[in-house]
Amino acid sequence: MTALFKWRHYESEIILTCVRWYLRYALSYRDLEEMMTERGLSVDYSTIFRWVQRYSPELDRRCRPHLKQTTDLWRVDETYVKFRGKWMYLYRAVDSSGQTLDFFLNETRKGQIEGAEKGNIQVQMNSSHRCLV
C-alpha cells in the first residue's frame, strides 16, 4: 500500500480520508477542500479531484471481493406494528436472502402493493453489490 502513495505530498491517511468521504457522502470537491481547511490542511479541490481519479479504482478493486452479492429478486412484506405508540402498516422491500432493501410506514392500509406501485418504495437494483456500512 505504501507504493501507491510514494512521492505524494500528503500522508496516505489524509488522501484516503478525502477519497473515502467523497465516495461515501454527497460532498463536492470544494466541500472537502473546506473541511480539510477547517482541520488545518491546505488542499486545493483540484488535488482532491486527482486523488479521487487515481485511488478510487484501486479502492473499488480491493473492496469489491468483500461485498455481498445481491440478486434482482425482491418482494414486498406488509405487517402491522406499533410505532411511537400508534399502530401503523410497515411495508418492507425484501430481497431473496431476507435483507431489507427499503421500507415505508403508513397509518392507513392502501393495498398490499399500492405503496410500491406509487413509488413510495423504491428499490435500487442497478449495482451488482450492496455496500456494507
Number of domains in the chain: 2
Query: Quick one: 18 and 31 in the same domain?
Result: yes
If one counts every other C-beta atom within 10 angstroms of the C-beta of residue 85, the result is 5
**Cα(16)–Cα(36) distance, rounded to whole angstroms?**
13
pLDDT tens per residue, range 80-96: 888 888 888 888 888 88
- Tell me what the mean pLDDT of segment 17-31 comes to: 91
52 is a domain residue: yes
Question: How buried is 132 (Cβ within 10 angstroms: 0-12 exposed, 13-18 middle, 19+ buried)?
Answer: exposed
**Cα(55)–Cα(71) distance, rounded to whole angstroms?**
28
**Cα(58)–Cα(69) distance, rounded to whole angstroms?**
20
Compute the chain's Rg from CA coordinates: 21
Q: What is the pLDDT of residue 126?
A: 43
20 is a domain residue: yes
Query: Quick one: 57 and 33 in the same domain?
Result: yes
Q: What is the pLDDT of residue 2?
A: 64
Domain that holds residue 95: 69-109
pTM beyond cutoff 0.85 = no
pLDDT tens per residue, range 97-131: 777 878 888 888 765 444 444 555 554 444 444 43
Does the pLDDT at position 10 exceed 90? no
Query: Quick one: 26 and 13 in the same domain?
Result: yes
